[in-house]
Structure 1
């Protein structure tokens, strides 16, 4: 199954991904909305941080204390080299257990690599790692389904729940949706969810 190949795919193509991933920060407007919900010098968990550029680099530049996880040892090695003052770990997000809570949790272009069942199981993990009033932001597809793209000739898996189910899953874990936009034309067509843990 293509979903089972994601971890190996990013590790095999880590150097190519680092070279090809744009640094234009088209995500900036959403990252700023996310930051606007956080306290000063926040602890932020970046799930699927990749090589740390441009997103983690921007958050660090805004005063965040970053903890990044990714399944690719090669990508994590690049993060450690570039941002040695922050915490980077090789980990599978589905098994996340850091024994720490964060002011902000981000899963940009990573969460939707999971199957729909694995995505459903992630919401209690988001809650477990969320400090009081924490912000959570992730990208998804615009509707329920699976899609297979391609990266360097290998199948690249994506999946999404329905918008109504994302809302239900967030609500069940005491997150309130702050902002949501499907196929945002100002963010290269991304579908974004921004939520905050209720007091």
Structure 2
């Protein structure tokens, strides 16, 4: 299993994933924290998948959501599930929408990239971040390249070390608000929350 296999895998399993994905919103506390720190309600959901439950919850919280996913089947499901939100088919690597957002979210998506591609994503995050925007993403608790499973198929994951994530965030103009490795209140997810410095302070 390689990083290059991720999008074809999610394309194959899209409908099964959408049906079986946990929709209890165990992510709610972190999503609410993200919105509490965000200067507005424009949200970029990077690796949005089928849109339920996260983008759906954000819409319910009066957010203007733009989803991005590289798997056409996921984009189709997102548009079917959430016709009131915009969804763009694009690989997150090299994303260039020419717009800035108040919150950027990469939940259970960014960590499918190789370590090198993850490092190169931080300028992309910064380019889409409005002043004082927040960035939230999930990672592993420490550096490594484990193989997980989705709908019975193997999937690649990778993480940098916490110190390297902090350095990447700092170099891109973000200050860490919180990092909770393997949060027991969030189904064991390791969650980063950061805020963009004002351009003059970056």
Q: TM-score band, normalised by the shorter chain?
A: over 0.9
Residues 23 and 59 of structure 1: is their aligned pair in 2 closer, same or farther, counting only changes over 3 Å?
same
Instruction: Tell me how far 1:91 sits from its aligned partner.
Output: 0.6
* Aligned-pair Cα RMSD in Å: 1.0
**Which residue of structure 2 lines up, in the alignment, with residue 181 of structure 1?**
180
Q: What's the TM-score, normalizing by structure 1?
A: 0.97
Instruction: Tell me how far 1:3 sits from its aligned partner.
Output: 1.3
**Which residue of structure 2 lines up, in the alignment, with residue 104 of structure 1?**
103
Deviates further, 170-179 or 143-152: 143-152
Other structure's SS at 1:181 match: strand
Question: Which consecutive unaligned segments of at least 5 residues does structure 2 have?
Answer: none
Q: Using the alignment, how far apart are the partners of 2:3 and 2:18 within structure 1?
A: 21
Instruction: Tell me how far 1:79 sits from its aligned partner.
Output: 1.4
**Which residue of structure 2 lines up, in the alignment, with residue 46 of structure 1?**
45
Question: Which consecutive unaligned segments of at least 5 residues does structure 1 have?
Answer: none
Q: Using the alignment, how far apart are the partners of 1:108 and 1:161 within structure 2?
A: 16
Q: Using the alignment, how far apart are the partners of 1:26 and 1:151 within structure 2?
A: 18
Q: Using the alignment, how far apart are the partners of 2:158 and 2:110 within structure 1?
A: 9
Q: Using the alignment, how far apart are the partners of 1:156 and 1:9 within structure 2?
A: 8
**Which residue of structure 2 lines up, in the alignment, with residue 170 of structure 1?**
169
- Report if aligned partners of 1:2, 1:155 keep a CA contact under 8 Å in 2: no
**Which residue of structure 1 lines up, in the alignment, with residue 25 of structure 2?**
25
**Which residue of structure 2 lines up, in the alignment, with residue 119 of structure 1?**
118
**Which residue of structure 2 lines up, in the alignment, with residue 73 of structure 1?**
72
Q: What's the TM-score, normalizing by structure 2?
A: 0.95
**Which residue of structure 2 lines up, in the alignment, with residue 198 of structure 1?**
197
